[in-house]
Amino acid sequence: MKIRWTKHTLRDYFFITIGAVLMALGISVFLVDARVVPGGVSGLAMALHYLSGDRIPVGLMIWLLNIPLYVWGIRVLGARFGARTFYGFTISAFFIDFFRGDIPGLSMLALNRTDTIQDLLHHDFLFLVLIGAVLLGIGLGIIFKFKGSTAGSDIIAAILQKRYGTKPGHAIMMVDFLVISFAGLVIYLKELSPDRPAMSLTLYAFFLLFISARLIDVILDGFDYARSAMIISKKHDTIAEAIEHRLSRGATALKVRGLYTDVDREAIMTVVTRKEIALLMEMIEDIDPHAFVTVHKVQEVLGNGFRRRI
Residue type for 309, please? R
| Alpha carbon distance 247, 166 (integer Å) | 48
Percentage of the residues of the chain whose pLDDT score is greater than 90: 43
Q: Does residue 114 have a pLDDT over 80? A: yes
| Alpha carbon distance 57, 128 (integer Å) | 21
User: Comparing 36-50, 164-178, 181-195, 266-280, which segment has the lowest mean pLDDT?
Assistant: 164-178
Query: pLDDT digits over 172-225, tens only?
Result: 788 889 999 999 999 988 888 778 888 999 999 999 988 988 888 778 766 666
What letter would DSSP give residue 270?
A: E
Q: Does residue 1 have a pLDDT over 60? A: no
Q: How confident is the model at residue 158 (pLDDT cuts 50, 70, 90)?
A: confident
Identify the pLDDT of residue 189.
87
Q: At what angle do helices 40-51 and 58-77 cross, to 10 degrees?
A: 140
CB-count burial class (<10 Å; 0-12, 13-18, 19+) for 212: buried
Cα angle, residue 110 at apex, residues 104 and 111 outer, rounded to 5°: 150
CB atoms under 10 Å from CB of 171, counted, come to 19
Query: pLDDT digits over 58-113, tens only?
Result: 999 999 999 998 888 888 766 656 788 889 899 999 999 999 999 888 888 899 99
Q: How confident is the model at residue 227 (pLDDT cuts 50, 70, 90)?
A: confident
Residue type for 151, please? A
Give the CA radius of gyration of the chain. Answer: 25
Identify the pLDDT of residue 5.
66
Could you tell me if 75 and 162 are in contact, meaning their C-beta atoms sit under 8 angstroms apart?
no
In the CATH hierarchy, which fold is given to the domain comprising 226-298? Alpha-Beta Plaits (3.30.70)
| Alpha carbon distance 36, 275 (integer Å) | 41
CB-count burial class (<10 Å; 0-12, 13-18, 19+) for 275: exposed
Query: pLDDT digits over 122-154, tens only?
Result: 999 999 999 999 999 999 888 888 878 888 887
Q: Where are the domains of the chain?
A: 7-221, 226-298
Identify the pLDDT of residue 309.
54
Q: Output phi, psi for 67, to 5 deg.
A: -60, -55
Q: Output phi, psi for 243, to 5 deg.
A: -60, -40
Could you tell me if 131 and 11 are in contact, meaning their C-beta atoms sit under 8 angstroms apart?
no
